[in-house]
Amino acid sequence: MKSVKAFAPATVANVSCGFDILGFAIDAMGDEVEVRLKDEPGLVVVSIEGDEGRLPYEVEKNTCAVAIQAMLDEMDSQVGMEIYLKKGLPLGSGMGSSAASAVAALVAANRLLGEPFEKKNLLPFAMAAEKVACGAGHADNVAPSLLGGFVLIRDYHPLDVIKLHVPHGLHCTLLHPHFELKTSDSRSVLRDNVSLKHSTIQSGNVAGLVTGLFQEDFELIGRSLRDVIAEPYRATLIPGFYETKEAVKGAGALGMGISGSGPTMFTLSKGEEKSQAIINAAQQVYDSIGLGVDSYHSAINTRGAYILEEK
Ligand SMILES: Nc1ncnc2c1ncn2[C@@H]1O[C@H](COP(=O)(O)OP(=O)(O)O)[C@@H](O)[C@H]1O
Ligand SMILES: N[C@@H](CCOP(=O)(O)O)C(=O)O
């Protein structure tokens, strides 16, 4: 085998109450990466499509190459590879764009090498790429993109990643206002310390959300989508955030939060029927403030990243 192409899905990180510890994957969008063996050692990013010329080709900066290099270093391998990236995700959107590239690249490269690593053991390499992209090696995008479904990162030291149950019929709608927010900027507005009161509220909601997923209790899922740690600071960076939250709840969403570090907002609903009403409600808010908004809706992706083609 000389070449493998893989797909990795977009993700919603945090899921409101689970800052850096919860995320899920969606079906609607993702990145594609083809990796080809080459005779000489070293990695080369050969082409990037769909980024309007904005992403770095340097192997120390592009998350595809950073992730593969971390894997090769672990193996003490000098294998040479060419990387071809097709972006399916907008940059700086809060849909795990840097993560999807890293994960697709790793899944393709791992297959090309005869799968020396189990899928879940690719995570630390993808986290190394996130560290380069946004300054923090958080796993709440890369883990669901790799493994699919809802994922809990119970601990980072050592890494303890747990797949959660995905209730039948749970549906996600994403609302992406037309501006970019870099994860590093959106992290810089957060506070280092959390009060005891807020820690109590947040823990209750994480426990409620996880229980709601396993019990397929949609009402419990909805009332657990509450974040008192990051959202109050980040919402100020997203025009129309609170108006949109009220409007989409009125349209039947179980709840709404910031997807990852924003500016995309996510809602969860029971079944896909509510999606159009949710999209219309958000559209009205953004029309009134004169800002464009793209909308997507999707089932939860339970499969994670996968191989598209091998030659
Ligand atoms: N393959 C890649 N795809 C997306 N972003 C990348 C990639 N490689 C490096 N980056 C860098 O990562 C940053 C984007 O990451 P981030 O702000 O976390 O956006 P997102 O929330 O969409 O993942 C940008 O600085 C970008 O240059
Ligand atoms: N937990 C991270 C998630 C960032 O997600 P992204 O999709 O915006 O990269 C955070 O909240 O900073």
Prediction ipTM score = 0.97
For the cut 80, the answer to whether the pLDDT of residue 1 exceeds it is no
- Which residues, at least 6 apart from 93, have a Cβ–Cβ distance to it below 8 Å? 176, 180, 181, 259, 263, 264
| Phi-psi domain of 114 (left: phi exceeds 0; alpha: psi -120 through 50; beta: other) | left
List, chain by chain if needed, residues with CB within 6 Å of any ligand 2 atom: 13-14, 19-20, 94-96, 138, 140-141, 183, 187, 260-261
Tokens of 14: 């945090």
What number is the average pLDDT over the span 47-53? 96
Q: Is 199 annotated as a binding residue?
A: no
DSSP state of 300: B
CB 227 within 8 A of CB 203: no
> What was the pLDDT predicted at 256?
98
What number is the average pLDDT over the span 149-160? 98
Closest C-alpha to 6, from 309, 301, 267? 309
For ligand 1, is residue 14 a contact (CB within 6 Å)? no
What number is the average pLDDT over the span 139-160? 98
How confident is residue 28, by pLDDT bands cut at 50, 70 and 90? confident
Q: How would you class 245 by CB atoms within 10 Å of its CB: exposed for 0-12, middle for 13-18, buried for 19 or more?
A: buried
Q: Tens digits of per-residue pLDDT, 197-223?
A: 999 999 999 999 999 999 999 999 999
Q: Which of 91, 101, 130 to mutate to test the pocket of ligand 1 (most atoms within 8 A of CB)?
A: 91
| Atom of ligand 1 lying closest to residue 62 CA | 8
* Sign for the pseudo-dihedral over CA of 247, 251, 254, 257: negative
Q: Which of 97, 127, 179, 181 to mutate to test the pocket of ligand 1 (most atoms within 8 A of CB)?
A: 97
Whole-angstrom Cα distance, residue 303 to residue 8? 10
Average pLDDT, the chain: 97
What number is the average pLDDT over the span 116-143? 96
- Which residues, at least 6 apart from 76, have a Cβ–Cβ distance to it below 8 Å? none
What number is the average pLDDT over the span 176-181? 95
For the cut 80, the answer to whether the pLDDT of residue 146 exceeds it is yes
Taking the centre of ligand 1 as the mean of its atom positions, its distance from the CA of residue 99, in whole angstroms, is 8
Q: Is 100 annotated as a binding residue?
A: yes
What number is the average pLDDT over the span 145-170? 98
Strand boundaries in 211-254, DSSP class E: none
For the cut 90, the answer to whether the pLDDT of residue 309 exceeds it is yes
Domains of the chain (ranges plus CATH)? 3-165+301-310 (3.30.230.10), 170-299 (3.30.70.890)
Q: Is 97 annotated as a binding residue?
A: yes
Q: Tens digits of per-residue pLDDT, 52-103?
A: 999 999 999 999 999 999 999 999 999 999 999 999 999 999 999 999 999 9
Number of residues that this document lists for the chain: 311
> What was the pLDDT predicted at 16?
98
Taking the centre of ligand 1 as the mean of its atom positions, its distance from the CA of residue 100, in whole angstroms, is 9
* Rounded (10°) CA dihedral 295, 97, 151, 276: 0
- What are the DSSP calls for 116-178, one per residue? -S-GGGGHHHHHHHHHHHHSS---TTHHHHHH-SEEEEEEETTEEEEEPP--TTEEEEEEEES
- List the Cα angle 218/221/224 in 5-degree steps: 150
Q: Which residue type does 221 have?
A: I
Taking the centre of ligand 2 as the mean of its atom positions, its distance from the CA of residue 296, in whole angstroms, is 19
Taking the centre of ligand 1 as the mean of its atom positions, its distance from the CA of residue 169, in whole angstroms, is 31
Q: Which residue type does 253 have?
A: A
For ligand 1, is residue 134 a contact (CB within 6 Å)? yes
> What was the pLDDT predicted at 171?
97
Q: Tens digits of per-residue pLDDT, 287-301?
A: 999 999 999 999 999
DSSP state of 188: H
